[in-house]
Amino acid sequence: MIAMSLRGVRGGVGTSSTLAALGYALHELGQKVLLVDMCPENSLGLHFNLNLAPREGWARATLDQQPWHEHAWSVEPGLCVLPYGQVQPAEYTRLDALLLEQPQLWSQRQAALADAFDWVLFDLPQRLPGHAANPHCDIAVMVLNADAACHVLLQPLLAKKPLFLVNRFDAASQLQRDLVLIWQHRYTQSLVPLSLHADEAMGEALARSEPAGRYAPGSLIAHDIISLASWCLLRGRRPA
Amino acid sequence: MAALPTAVQISADILSRRQRADDIARLKSMMELHALEYVDVSAHMELLQAFERWPLLAYLEAQYQLPVDLQKHKEPSP
Amino acid sequence: MISRWFPYTRLRREQNCTRFTAFTMALIQALGWVFLRLESPNWKALRAQQWRLYPHLANKRSTIGDPLRYIVQTLWLLVVRTPNLDQIGRKRTRRRVGAYVSAVLNIVQRPWNLLSNSFEHLPAALSPQVSKGSHWWSTMRWPTRKVLYIALGTLAVALIVLCITEPFGYLAQLVFVILLWVLAMLVRRMPGRFPTLLLIVLSIIVSCRYLWWRYTSTLNWNDNLDLVCGLILLIAETYSWLILLLGYVQTSWPLNRQPAQLPPDTDEWPVVDLLIPTYNEELSVTRGTVYAALGLDWPKDKLRIHLLDDGNRPSFKTFAEEVGINYIARTDNRHAKAGNLNHALTLIDGDLVAIFDCDHMPARSFLQLTVGWFLRDPSLALVQTPHHFLSPDPFERNLGTFRNRPNEGELFYGLIQDGNDMWNAAFFCGSCAIVRRTAIDSIGGFAVETVTEDAHTALRLHRNGWTSAYLRIPQAAGLATESLSAHIGQRIRWARGMVQIFRTDNPLLGKGLTIFQRICYTNAMMHFLVGLPRLVFLTAPLAFLLLHAYIIYAPAVMILLYVLPHMIHASLTNSRMQGAYRQTFWGEVYETVLAWYIARPTTVALFSPSRGKFNVTAKGGMMEENQFDWQTAKPYLVLSLLNVLGLGFAVWRLFTGPKDEIFTVLVSVLWVVYNLLIIGAAVAVAAEVRQVRHTHRVLTRLPGAIRLADGHSYPCELVDYSDGGVGLQLSQPQQLPVGTPVSLILQRGNREFVFTGMLTRSHDLFMGLSFAQLPPEQKIAFVQCTFGRADAWLDHNSGFEADKPIQSLKEILALGVKGYYRLYEYMPAWLRLMARPFLRVFQWLGSFLPRMPKAPTPLSSGQ
């Protein structure tokens, strides 16, 4: 099993949509995939036509000391979504502290999932360091857009050599081209060697409660996501 | 599932698309010039111009990094 | 009932037969019913298959010739293997016959296969012994080795001389040539370069033996006509023999040079002046080259681009200013291109000078691949790369061989230059090359004395001790000549220029060249003298048929025993050496087309080299409609008429001539027919095929994507491009009206570029975009993403089929027939009317020829 996480370098870069689409694409390539929503907004299921903010989820269960794994939804055989569950702000702060206290919590859970899934994808939140740090991931990707704000936010992170993925890339924009060129040359080892293009289909997919690959399989973004999934498969086989 | 081989095909096709897009890599493999060190001058020019165009990028460059040797450029590993 | 047994009325009414035909056919049928029991199941099954076994007769109006056609076809069916015929009886017979034949063949085949397989693995099996042997050889002391070398050499020469000069009778000659042929066929199976050398030696022995025999025993000194005709043929043959031998030396060991690595620090890279000479070419053609030059991957402060406009045109000046390159014009245009370049040399001061004709677009990697050698070798004066053509030349266009057969230039740039490079004799070809400034200054600039300044300049460089290099990586592409006449015009210029150099600055004489350099240059120049010898070969058999001159004064069988091995060995060896660059027999077509036209200018230049003027090759024109170039084809029509006349004489001689000449006549007829078909192939080239577009579309497979105005994007494949647009293939159809703005995203390496164009056509999955309105910087980027890609021209030979001499011969002969058919199609109406009866006769004769039976449909084969 390979654990992978996506996290936005800031809000609104399209992390959840990308994660949903990537999960779907990996599943299309014959993988058994579990998507785990680590965000208190609890909205990952929307990409798969599930309810908005289901009451039950892993966070709710963990707080209530219930078995956490019973709340996963099976979208298709081999493609499951584990929602966060409805949790009050005070509660998720408490949960975050708990996760910081027990840094092995998700590692143990991942070990339990190893037989059932080939891939577990975590949609990590912006803040809440406990949530973000707890899953132990083989591939941890920061998602960003090619804009100056992301470039600024990126600078302090560089020391840790994370992986970046450019989302919503528009090659017609001079600034975006320049930024990607700079990143390609400066952070060659950190940059995922393919960019996800800006495509209207990505936004429309969520409005139709579908992952992009199912909503518009012929679109460029669906194609990009399949490339990303292929890259993940290649990278996942390589010892981390 | 019947879709599996086609999905694998798609994936292979996409990988080949990426390889076909890289003309220098293809030049090296087709002419067996594996040792050739190619300098993508046009990309370097564009890079220099980018820092000229956007002062913030140049500023951050100076803040966070030692200037990197422009001549050396390795292609990212896939 | 009666209509079945005696279908006279039906034939009369339905098929409109004459009374006689209907009666004869009906009578045959009636006899058939009476004597052959046609109602039996076997006959029924056969009759049900009529449409399949007798395809040309099934739906034909019955005529009096049909019984004969049925007989011919039936005999044919008994002989050939019919596809999927599942009649058990015939299968069994065939199996029995097949088994018998293969058993007989096996006796020969098995040992042959064993032998040839062992030869195939011989190099691998021998290699330990060989390396041991060479080690032992190198440990030997030099004087001993020298003695051994001399002894071995003398022995070899003695044996070869013996092989060449020993006169043989019929049987001895037969055994000798069969032995050599078997040896060649075995050696052919062995991989590697040494077996090629062995093949060359065999071919040289056989050819020398042939020529020796021709000189010593085939000239009739007693008859003046025989002697004159025979000597003319013999001189032509000697020429071919010389070219064959020189060619073997020239291409025996191609160098396959690799690029040399540049230093990592770009400050150490030399300054390059890139010259684009132009005279009367259109600006649209030149633009692409300038954009591609601007996209070269070379530090901007070390690359200066100069447009050398000998036409002094304001539009070129404006364009040069627009894109920021240097514009150089001069007041006169003395010495044409060479003068233009020399004038520019006075105004520039870079270390190296790159030269591109204004229609040769360089790939972005050109300089980085070529300049390295100048730094590694200080005596290097010149690096040449191949001229690749992105549009079909007249041969390729009119014969439909573009991208599936090597073209005329392929042999030169694929093999000969690489062979020259081995001997440090790679020539300068005027474009797609780079020269050292100090070297060109040391010989006083580009040579202006002849019309081929390039080869002459290279010769002078070599004479002055400079070296040259050839890099066989296509790093530029240009337009081929548009029409046959322009193509021939270009070749006339080359031929004249090369012969001029041969006369004024003969490479065999003078200082500074090695023996191999002399050979390479001589071969290149002699090659253009092919015109007269080729014409001699095309008319030689006529000397016997028309004038009854014994041009080869020997028995016909003996001639065959000598000439066939000579031709077969030459073809086998050349097929192995050149197969990938020129297929067997295609050279004959290329030479035949040019022969007439270069014969006169080369002969004139040979005797008075100062005559002859420079003519520029016209490019970028347009063939508006299919047409036949009568002007160009005229000499070939005359030649073919002569040969047809020869055939007529042959028939006459067959019936009235002496008995002992019959075999000679037959051999001459074969030669005449071969000549006729080769001339036919040349005629086929003259039928010019219409060009549909103004701009040439380059076929490709490149990944890309499109982005529509509404923000939706789709992946696509770039299937072709030209300087004004692209053709795309999508994975799903798009319903878009023509005129919609569409952005194309192209990748080159890691970088992406967007070009906004206009939808010009959309059909199913295919889409055409036009980029008429791109700003200049986008045009540069577009050229870099397409024509300027480092890999753009590398796989041009991926569609070439492997050379098979027999197959190639068949194709050429078929091409010859096609040539005459095309000729008929383009003839004026009154001539066609006159030719029609003859054609009818041929068609009628052809209708008797048997056909291949059709494959059965599942229905009929199911029983």
Interchain contact A178–C (C-beta under 8 A):
no
The whole-chain average pLDDT of chain C stands at 87
Q: Could you give the CA distance from residue C397 to residue C403 in angstroms, rounded to a whole number?
A: 10
Contact A178 B46 (CB under 8 A): yes
Q: 3-state SS string over C376-415?
A: HCCCEEEEECCCEECCCCHHHHHHCCCCCCCCCCHHHHHH
Residue A110 placed within a domain: yes
Contact B43 C792 (CB under 8 A): no
Using CA coordinates, name the residue in chain B closest to C363. Answer: B23
- Structural domain boundaries in chain B: 1-34, 39-73
pLDDT at B71 > cutoff 50:
no
Which residue of A169, A219, A230 to mutate against C (max C Cβ within 10 Å)? Answer: A219
DSSP E strands, A155-216? 163-167
C-alpha dihedral (C664, C666, C672, C678), degrees to nearest 10: -120
Pick from C265, C295, C749: which is nearest to B24 by CB? C749
Q: What is the pLDDT of residues C383-435, one digit of tens each?
A: 999 999 988 888 888 888 888 888 888 899 999 999 999 999 999 999 999 99
Q: What is the pLDDT of residues C312-352, one digit of tens each?
A: 999 999 999 999 999 999 988 888 899 999 999 999 999 99
pLDDT at B68 > cutoff 90:
no
Please name the residues in contact with C255: beta carbons below 8 A apart, sequence gap of 6 or more.
C418, C419, C421, C422, C470
Q: Could you give the CA distance from residue C57 to residue A223 in angstroms, rounded to a whole number?
A: 57
Interchain contact A221–C (C-beta under 8 A):
yes
Interchain contact C135–A (C-beta under 8 A):
no
The 10 Å CB-count burial string (b at 16+, else e) for C120-158 is bebeeeeeeeeeeeeeeeeeeeeeeeeeeeeeeeeeeee
Pick from C297, C792, C795: which is nearest to B41 by CB? C297
pLDDT of residue C863: 35
Chains with at least 3 CB pairs less than 8 angstroms from chain B: A, C
Using CA coordinates, name the residue in chain A closest to B64. Answer: A155
Comparing C861 with C283, the larger pLDDT belongs to: C283
Read off the pTM: 0.84
pLDDT of residue C692: 55
pLDDT at C93 > cutoff 80:
no
Q: Could you give the CA distance from residue C547 to residue C160 in angstroms, rounded to a whole number?
A: 38
Q: What is the pLDDT of residues C649-673, one digit of tens each?
A: 999 999 888 888 888 899 999 999 9
Please name the residues in contact with C592: beta carbons below 8 A apart, sequence gap of 6 or more.
C534, C538, C636, C678, C679, C681, C682
pLDDT of residue C827: 82
Residue A151 placed within a domain: no
Ordered per-residue pLDDT tens for chain A, 240 residues: 899 999 999 989 999 999 999 999 999 989 999 999 999 988 899 999 888 778 889 999 999 888 888 888 999 999 999 999 999 989 999 999 999 999 888 988 988 888 889 999 999 998 888 898 889 899 999 999 999 999 999 888 888 888 999 999 999 999 999 999 999 998 888 999 889 999 999 999 999 999 999 999 999 999 999 999 988 988 887 544
Pick from C473, C701, C790: which is nearest to B24 by CB? C790
Please name the residues in contact with A132: beta carbons below 8 A apart, sequence gap of 6 or more.
A7, A38, A124, A125
Q: Could you give the CA distance from residue C363 to residue C361 in angstroms, rounded to a whole number?
A: 7
Q: State both tokens at A9.
A: 């370098």
What is the nearest CA distance from B24 to chain C, expressed in angstroms?
Answer: 6
Comparing B75 with A30, the larger pLDDT belongs to: A30
Contact C668, C545 (CB under 8 A): yes
Q: What is the pLDDT of residues C221-246, one digit of tens each?
A: 888 999 999 999 999 999 999 999 99
Rounded to two decimals, the ipTM of the complex is 0.93
Contact C29, C5 (CB under 8 A): yes
| Domain ranges, residue A39 | 2-140+201-237
Q: State both tokens at C352.
A: 């190296």
pLDDT of residue B78: 37
pLDDT of residue C856: 57
pLDDT at C620 > cutoff 50:
no
Q: Could you give the CA distance from residue C246 to residue C249 in angstroms, rounded to a whole number?
A: 5
Pick from C732, C751, C753: which is nearest to A218 by CB? C732
Q: Percent helix, strand, coil in chain C (nearest 5)?
A: 55, 10, 30
Q: Which of C226, C359, C418, C454 is catalytic?
A: C454
DSSP conformation letters of C481-524 = PSSHHHHHHHHHHHHHHHHHHHHHS-TTSSSS--HHHHHHHHHH
Contact C230, C553 (CB under 8 A): yes
What is the interface size between A and B, counted as CB pairs within 8 Å? 72
Contact A182 B10 (CB under 8 A): no
- Phi/psi for A73 (5° steps) reads -105, 135
Look-up: residue for tokens 């005359």?
C638
Residue A210 placed within a domain: yes
Q: Rounded to 5 degrees, what angle do the CA atoms C619, C620, C625 make?
A: 110
Contact A206, A46 (CB under 8 A): yes
Q: Which of C310, C393, C723, C803 is catalytic?
A: C310
Contact C710 A198 (CB under 8 A): no
Strands C766-770 and C751-763: antiparallel
Residue A117 placed within a domain: yes
Chains with at least 3 CB pairs less than 8 angstroms from chain A: B, C
Pick from A181, A199, A221: which is nearest to C751 by CB? A181
Contact B36 C264 (CB under 8 A): no
Q: Could you give the CA distance from residue C822 to residue C831 in angstroms, rounded to a whole number?
A: 14
Residue A83 placed within a domain: yes
Residue A106 placed within a domain: yes
Pick from A177, A197, A201: which is nearest to C705 by CB? A197
Least confident piece of the model among A109-123, B19-33, C107-121, C653-667: C107-121
Q: What is the pLDDT of residues A20-62, one digit of tens each?
A: 999 999 999 899 999 999 999 888 999 998 887 788 899 999 9
Least confident piece of the model among B3-7, C186-190, C201-205, C487-491: B3-7
Q: CA dist B53 to A146, A175, A179, B56, B73, Å?
A: 16, 9, 11, 9, 22
Helix or strand holding residue A74 (H, E): strand A73-76
pLDDT of residue B10: 58
Q: Could you give the CA distance from residue C304 to residue C116 in angstroms, rounded to a whole number?
A: 58
DSSP E strands, C500-659? 627-628
Specify whether C710 is catalytic.
Answer: no
The 10 Å CB-count burial string (b at 16+, else e) for C296-332 is bbbbeebbbbbbbbbeeeeebeebbeebebbebbbee
Look-up: residue for tokens 């798969």?
A48
Q: Could you give the CA distance from residue C358 to residue C377 in angstroms, rounded to a whole number?
A: 29
Number of structural domains found in chain A = 1
Q: State both tokens at C860.
A: 């009929």
Q: What is the pLDDT of residues C782-841, one digit of tens each?
A: 998 999 999 989 888 777 888 888 888 888 888 898 888 888 888 888 878 887 888 888
Contact B21 C747 (CB under 8 A): yes
Q: Could you give the CA distance from residue C575 to residue C568 in angstroms, rounded to a whole number?
A: 10
pLDDT at C619 > cutoff 70:
no
Using CA coordinates, name the residue in chain B closest to C751. Answer: B43
Residue A189 placed within a domain: no
Specify whether C310 is catalytic.
Answer: yes
Q: Could you give the CA distance from residue C807 to residue A152 in angstroms, rounded to a whole number?
A: 67
Contact C704, B21 (CB under 8 A): no
Q: Rounded to 5 degrees, what angle do the CA atoms C678, C493, C233 make?
A: 40
Contact A186 B8 (CB under 8 A): no
pLDDT of residue C83: 52
Q: What is the pLDDT of residues C31-83, one digit of tens each?
A: 888 887 777 788 877 777 777 778 777 777 777 788 888 888 888 877 766 55
For residue B72, the chain C residues in CB contact (below 8 A) are: 264
Q: Which residues of B fall below an 8 Å CB-CB distance to C? A: 17-18, 20-27, 30-31, 33, 35-43, 45-46, 71-72, 75-76
Contact A157, A9 (CB under 8 A): yes
Q: State both tokens at C603.
A: 């002969």
Residue B13 binned pLDDT confidence (cut-offs 50, 70, 90)? low
Q: In terms of residues, how long is chain A?
A: 240
Q: Could you give the CA distance from residue C782 to residue C771 in angstroms, rounded to a whole number?
A: 9
**Full set of structural domains in chain C with CATH:** 126-164 (no CATH), 270-481 (3.90.550.10), 698-785 (2.40.10.220)
Continuous H helices in C37-65: 41-48, 50-53, 55-58
The 10 Å CB-count burial string (b at 16+, else e) for C81-91 is ebeebeeeeee
Interchain contact C455–A (C-beta under 8 A):
no
Residue A191 placed within a domain: no
C477: left (phi over 0), alpha (psi -120 to 50) or beta: beta
pLDDT at C580 > cutoff 50:
yes
Amino acid at C29: Q
Q: Maximum Cα–Cα distance for chain A, whole Å?
A: 52
Q: Could you give the CA distance from residue C803 to residue C393 in angstroms, rounded to a whole number?
A: 21
DSSP SS3 for C361: strand
Residue A110: which of A56, A69, A61, A162 has the closest Cα?
A69
For residue B1, the chain A residues in CB contact (below 8 A) are: 30
pLDDT of residue B12: 64
